[in-house]
Amino acid sequence: MKQVKRCPHCGGNLFLSRENGALEWACLQCARTYPAVETPEGIAVVERGREREPVTAGRRRAA
């Protein structure tokens, strides 16, 4: 089951991903990522995000 939340910056859908071993929420609309924090209620979004390059055609570039 996919968990989808809203981006605090643009309101787009956030998708849970695991990049370089770190669990994070990624917004496909504004290309921001947010650290994911596990809580008793589920996985929460941390408000501060960082910008990254958009993902293109199924290939990710190394950071």
pLDDT-derived band of residue 46, with 50, 70 and 90 as boundaries? low
Q: How far apart are CA 15 and CA 45, in angstroms?
A: 11
- Top mean pLDDT of 13-22, 35-44, 45-54 is at 13-22
The reply to whether 61 falls in a domain is no
Q: What is the reported pTM?
A: 0.54
d(CA 36, CA 33): 9
Specify the number of domains making up the chain. 1
Instruction: Report if residue 56 sits inside a domain.
Output: no
Domain-located, residue 10? yes
Percent of the chain with pLDDT over 90: 0
Calpha distance 42→56 (Å, rounded): 29
Task: Please indicate, yes or no, if residue 59 is contained in any of the structural domains.
Answer: no
